[in-house]
Amino acid sequence: MAHINQNELVAQLRKAHHDKMALCDRLEEIADGLPDNIDRQICATTARAIEPILKKAHAYEEEILYPALIKFHHGTLDQTMIFDRLRAEHYEDRCFGEEVRDVLMSYGEGKPIQAADATGYMLRGFFESLRRHMAFEAELARPLRYDATTASELKPDAAE
């Protein structure tokens, strides 16, 4: 793994979380519009966005962020349990995301395959799970943000 500075790690995490949060917000809007206020195009567009957003975010987290956090925390966390749990959640998110995609595509095609209340419940379960996962990751990465901010604030003083 190439060395990435803490500011870059935090910036990439913010971007990944921004993209996932935008997806969650759109899913919430769709759920709130059920059953009578559904935009078929938004359903189809959102359905097609799920896999690439999750795939990109999960790749960054598993290949770059988690190894950096393990290194940063110097073994102070029960890393095996925590990062195994997060990886398992990624798998669950991808599986659940496929189901959500299929349901949204059916709405996009004007052929819903389940009742609106079941779809709303499904969407809320999915985006709430994503939001909880992001909150946990943000908490794990908080020391990186603090340390990177502190280091950048100290740099000008060191030059004097």
CA distance linking residue 9 with residue 143, whole number of Å = 12
Whether residue 1 is contained in a domain is answered as: no
Average pLDDT on 1-9 reads 72
Q: Is the per-residue pLDDT at 144 higher than 80?
A: no
Whether residue 140 is contained in a domain is answered as: yes
Q: Give the count of domains, the chain.
A: 1
Which tens digits make up the pLDDT trace of 111-123?
A: 999 999 999 999 9
- C-beta separation of 14 from 51 below 8 A: no
Q: Is the per-residue pLDDT at 72 higher than 60?
A: yes
Domain extent at residue 44: 6-155
Whether residue 160 is contained in a domain is answered as: no
Query: For position 13, what pLDDT does the model report?
Result: 94
Query: For position 77, what pLDDT does the model report?
Result: 62
Whether residue 146 is contained in a domain is answered as: yes
Q: Tell me the whole-structure pTM to 2 decimals.
A: 0.85
Average pLDDT on 58-81 reads 84
Query: For position 151, what pLDDT does the model report?
Result: 45
Tokens describing residue 33: 């519009």
Tokens describing residue 20: 């996932």
Provide the sign of the torsion angle of the four alpha carbons 139, 140, 146, 152, taken in this order. Answer: negative
Q: What percent of the chain has a predicted confidence (pLDDT) above 70?
A: 86
Amino acid at 119: T
Whether residue 48 is contained in a domain is answered as: yes
Q: Is the per-residue pLDDT at 76 higher than 60?
A: yes
Average per-residue pLDDT for the chain: 87
Average pLDDT on 137-160 reads 59
